[in-house]
Structure 1
Amino acid sequence: MLNFGLLAFAQPWLLLALAGLPLLWLLLRLTPPAPRRLTFPAVRLLAGLKVPEETPARTPWWLLLLRLFIVALIILGLAQPLLNPAAQLSGSGPMMLVIDDGWASARFWPARQIAAANLLAQAEREDRPVILLTTAPGTQDTPPETSGLLPAAEARRLLQGLKPKPWPVDREAAQAAVEDLRIDGTAHVVWLSDGLDAPGSAGFAAALQRLGRLHVLREESAGLAHLALAPDTEGVDLVARALRADGQGASQAAVLAIGGDGRIITRAPLLFEPGETEARALLDLPTEMRNRIALLSIEGETTAGATVLLDERWRRRPVGLVSIGGEQEAQPLLSETYYLQSALEPFTELRKGSVEDLLQRQLAVLALPDSITLSPDERGRIADWVSRGGLLLRFAGPHSVAQPPAGGAAAGGGDDLLPVRLRGGDRILGGALTWDTPARLAPFAADSPFADLALPDDVVIRRQVLAEPSLDLGEKTWARLSDGTPLVTADRRGEGWLVLFHTTANTDWSNLPISGLFVEMLRRVMAISQGVEGGSGGAALPPIEVMDGFGSLGAPPATVLALETGGEAGGGRESPLGPRHPPGYYGNDSLRQAHNLSRFVGELTPLRGLPAGVTTALYQDSPEQDLKPWLLAAALFLALLDLLISLALRGLLRPGGGVAAASATGALLLGLGLGAAGLAPAAPALAQARDDGRTLEATLMTRLAYVETGDPAVDEISRAGLMGLTRVLERRTSVEAGPPLGIVLGRDDMAFFPLVYWPVTASQPAPSQAAIDQVNFFLDHGGTILFDLRESSAGAQIFGGGSQGTQHLRRLTQGIAIPPLEPVPVDHVLRKAFYLMEDFPGRFVGGTLWLEAPGENVNDGVASILIGSNDWAGAWAVNELGRPLNAVVPGGPRQREMAYRFGINLVMYALTGNYKADQVHIPFILERLGQ
């Protein structure tokens, strides 16, 4: 390799080809270009043409320089120049490439691939064998192992198939593989690290250093992977949490709450304060939306650690209802259990039984009616259960009134499973011996879990148990009566909650239990509780979906085993995270349990404590760039440019040649007075002002035309109507017509069209004198115009008064030579030109179709003027998909079909004349044929 500092050549011997450039210069200079080829033009274009008699004897000097530059670029590109070339590999042995392929490396995996590819290219240039070592366990749960000596090309193939894994690296096992490695000489060792510390990192680096000089590539602090932790709960809200490795300075990220359908439900910022490695974000969502969250993901990071899956632990709320049966079950309408069961069953997994039976199962909430008496042992077990995250829901009633005043942990004795201290006795609101009236609920406070619930007007409280006043009573009160006394109080105990309704769960003290508000309040209380893990009974859960290294869920491979779910709660052994149990969902249709990577990763710390003598660098520092593709691409571009220049010098690139020829053809046709079949020659004065492009468009194909009125809606219907008629003509007849064209009277020539459709509108200005002369010229030389008044009915006389459309028609045709008109005769050829027709419906029916009366007509019997009012373009009009744009009345599809048939007859009549009118010889022909 030839090195010039910032530039080096991997194949310097190819630079010798530059010595051949002078010879190439001489060869190109003596080779004349091909003679220019001139096409023989039309005879009328020969005037003034000077044919050059000489061709260049030599290639132009600037073209020579361009071609020499192209050859120089090719030579330099094949020499493989390198920008910022890496230093030569140290040592006399192979290059050892160590790659961290655990979950943390997935964040900037392409950068690691580029760095590894550059290193392999360097080893290939220096003809060094390569040893590959990945530090994460294999998918078959095999420990890391070295690959042995490989050619650089084979190592590159293995690198292309390498992907990050969704579990941590095992550097202690990788160290054992390094210590078992035996090589000749000293190796050049490069460690592509994920930048995070792990058990055994220092020993692993020391083992690598014993093989040769060690270079470590790492990410900068801001590029290290984050770890999404399992969320906490604050009331009814979820709190997303995330870890970062380096606590220096402040940084910011964001967490996305994603539903099961892949849609983003909400986004919340994660702010890392200086010196802090954990950030929290409150997800303030309604309960229904919170329960739709399937996973939390750190925005912009594609790693298995940046995603935490949620399961029923954050949604499933099993509720235990303490029930004693007996008389209450026999009289359900008097039983508190009946009302609680009716309110809770629609949205919870309800379980009934004794305290002992219920606490043996997994519960999120324990509902305790007032009629239940607890033993000291049951109180202790419930208190321990609440401290570990349970929610105890209690109700007041006659039993609590009979108990001595007590409450809360602050009470010296009595019932310590109450959120507040209670007064002795109860308060009766309303009755024959009281002055009070039943109380209503006050609006819920903004910080209450019931904050956004609507208060019905018919809910009243007749009796309640009062709380002892205290400094923190306001903080513990979730609901009040209109006089300010607490109705619902709550207190945090350990990891759990104590919640008390200061009235009964049945209708003895209020009508709250039979209202919809009671169900909504209980739903909010359930949402505060902590979820529980799926109760699999200790059975193994098969994999449903597992993550790859980039945090994407997919079908589990055959190497993934079922998940053991004993855990601490079940007293059994829980499966670790690894190749046999990657992060993902495990279970079945009725139970999905999340297996998250963050549960098995304690903390994140940057990679530190490397031995002395180890050099470190960032992935982005001075990357080596191969200039070969850029130079060859530039040579190819210039070669294409040279090709175009050569074609231009030979006269093969004549801009507009084809168009000019077509224009000449059109001019020749106009000069000879030729047009489409059935068309009259154009006026010479108008032909001089005609645009060549539009002339060709009109003459090279038979087209129908319409008069543009200036009303965009009417003009669009005219265009769509004639377009629909043109499509029908193509399907049913031999006429192959092009798309219709709009014409402006006085500007565009009408001579190219066999038939012109003229819709009559009130806003259309009267034609100018030039337009009138143009129309008269068109009618005198065989053209046909269909005037359409577009009315549902028309007067009997066209020019003798009648409808508004008739008046507009008289205004627009003032000065036009209108011949005498008559209704279409019964035996007229228009009724049998293609279809046999009795009338001529359009979008409307009932109007009379008038045409030029027979006389000394020189246009093969074709009338020059037709006038009607049935809005035929509206019936023919279709959109781009061929669907009708307007309704036809009153006949529907049958009427539209007859309108199309009239259009076909009209076009055939305008194109072919009255040849079908000669029917006199038909009987004799049939007789001759023996029929």
Structure 2
Amino acid sequence: MLSLGAFAFAAPGMLALLLVLPVIYWLLRMIPPLPRLVRFPAIRLLMGLEPTEQTPMKIPWWLLLLRLLLATALILAVAKPLLNPQADLPGRGPLLLVIDDGWASAPGWTARIAHAERLIDRAERGGRPVVLMGTAPSPLDAPVMKQGALRPEEARTLLRALRPKPWPTDRAAAVTQLDRMEVDASAYAVWLSDGLEDPGTDKLSARLRQFAGLEVVLPDQATTPLVLLPPDTEGRDLRVRALRPAANGPRKTAIRAEDDQGRVVARIDLDFAATSTQGEGVLAAPVELRNRMTRLDIEGQGGAGSTVLLDERSRRRPVSILGERASANGQPLLQEVYFLERALDPYVSLSVGDRENVLTRNTAVLLVPDSSAPSPNDREEIAKWIEQGGVAVRFAGPNLAAGGDNLVPTPLRLGDRALGGVMSWGTPATLAEFPANSPFFGIPIPKDVRISQQVLAEPTPDLSDKTWARLTDGTPLVTAEKRGKGYLVLVHTTANTNWSNLALSGLFVDMLQRLVLLSRGIAGDGINKALKPWRTLDGFGRLGAPPAGVQMLPADANRSFKPKPTTPPGLYGDENAHVAFNLGDHVDPPKPLVLPAGVATDRLSEGGETDLSRWFLLAAAMLLLGDFLISLWLRGMLPRAVRLRRAATAALLIAMAGLLAIPQRAQAQTSPAPPAQIQPPDKTGATPTAEKTPPPPLSEEEALRGALDVRLAYIVTGDKDVDDTSRAGLEGLSEVLRSRTSVEPADPVALDLDRDEPRLYPLIYWPITSTQPNLTPRASAALDRYLRTGGIVFVDTRDQQMSFDRPANGNPDLKRLLGAIELPPLVSMPSDYVLTKSFYLLSDFPGRWQGGKIWIEAGNGRVNDGVATIMIGSNDYAGAWAVDQRGRGLMPVSPGGETQREMAFRFGVNLVMVALTGNYKDDAVHLQDIMQRLRR
């Protein structure tokens, strides 16, 4: 490398080409420019005329200078000029790059990769191989990474494919992997650390010090990782806490809360004191906004450690108490409503009233004290409400002990049982440990809680399964029964202090909170069991479909259970009921990295040398363009009126193309989002939301491509996960069509019926979601026009619950969205329909799930040559078609696995063939008759 102060050349040997410049100068001087092209009139008009213009014998000096500058720019470009060059790496052995790629590396990941690329460039200049390895366990579906000494270009490719992982590093396992590589001892090791301590830090640093040299690169303060902990509920507010590794001065950051659409609904500032490693803040929001929050993020971090997913445990559920509010005149300490209010008011949205008032609201839990024993009519209405998904919690007392009340989870004996007092032989009883099938499982039981009176349950075969809490003598204290979608729960003692002191203990509050969580959205139906993965986080904190190989979250996943490739952080359960498994409360508090004395360190930064080759190539391209335009001008091939305008336009386009081609380094830190003001609900109770920006309409060029190429389309729903799955699924189906059939579809198209023209596409895939807005009149008209002109729409409800013979059991979202178009009568697809034989012979039509039916319009589509224009399925076909770049499925298929995915692809091929060729299979039956008629 030839260094000239702040300027250097990585390939100085190429500067020898500058000696050729005199030869180029001599050649250009000797070769005159091409003569100007003149269109002669008739020859007789030229007789006797003398030419007024002479062709020059030599090239003009300014054109000669331009071409010499062009050659000089090309020579300097191939010499690889560098600005602020860095010295070559120490030693002569290979470069060993060890990169921490766990959750803590996500902040400043772009700067980390840029720093590693500069190290590889320095190794490449010295002709040294590169060994690349990460310290975090690889995902289960990750391709096998090539190990050992690599060429710099190979290492650069692997580096750009590296991503942070949503789990901690394992540096002890990295040492084992390094030993298997058998790296040359003369290697120079560079460890790009995340700056945090790890149980295997000493082992890794000791192993790296055995090489010829070691340098540890530490993050700066801006990229030091922060850990966001799940919030604590403090009454009506959420207390948010974040941790940092070291108390290195004051630091301010921001926490933003988002809803399921990615909109910011609240934002607070979080301050770290100069001597504290913990920052705290209170997130105060109305109930409506708090119940919409789905995640919390630290601005400027962008990683799994700075993200907290929220489930129903962080929301304020609407709870109602049947009865009258306690008053001072009525001795509140004796009223059951008083104890229920004091136990739940800080944690839920509470209301008190009669049955007509409390059941007309969006009530999640209904508490029924014995003093407010419901009438027979009220019990009937409450039973219907439970069937629809409500949770009713009843408390025993004298009224219930008198008998005649059938709104109980298990039959009861008449009267009550006294466990202490003058007329009783026994003493007040204590509680036994909660069983594993109880939502109270894991709650510690205070030793001073005593039950002195209770109602007894009749012994039945299923009483043990219905018992959620019992006394030490085995008699049930809390029984429950699942009815429809809801629960009926009975506490066999009173809600005040008449029959026990339970209402005075913290156990009473904990038990009521668990029952509130049971009301909606918490997976497991109140039973502690393993949960399947539904959505998981990647290393950058993005929520998506779980990767292949992710296992179920065990029921005993306590704080000591660490995130790992088999159980990454995310949401476990399903879309209706799930729990959040966050990284913040399942990793150790961050501590700064401690290195042995004598280890060289550096700071991660965006600075360093700059390669100027691309700029010299851009200058050469601009000079070449100028030379081309000047040559055209000298030959008279540019119209005089537009010469300058066209030349300026072309130069501007070339300059813009050159600037866009230059890879700009992305900023390591994202700019913080503007504060989102919390808007109170309006008079109707609705909370204002931001309008969704529709996608731009298709340009003329895109419309032309859609008309000339075969493209599959899908309707945009507004749900990012569903839309991404639809696009990935149609891309996977298009790849299968290209490899197995003569159809070569282009990339699929996202379709907005309000703006785009659907008639350009033979088949439209329409997934149904509950959040998708109704069709506008313009969209309905476009879809009707598409169906009338022969287009085919395949509607996928993705729920396996369609039933058109009984509309009450059908999908309500499907009825809502299709209600705006002229939908013909639908029937179950017959077994001999053309869709079963258009390419493959099929008898079943699975997607991600198996079963269900395909519904088509009645009459086999008489208008469209016997082909139905609308088909409806329910097996999430795009989820089964979605594959990655290596052809592996992105989503699990149940229960048939990859065999079922193959059958789903075959169904997709048949569907596209029907859309492109219609009913040609039935026409083929009459082929002989048609040929005989043609012969005549």
Q: Which has the larger radius of gyration?
A: 1
* TM-score of the pair, normalised by structure 2: 0.48
TM-score by length of structure 1 reads 0.49
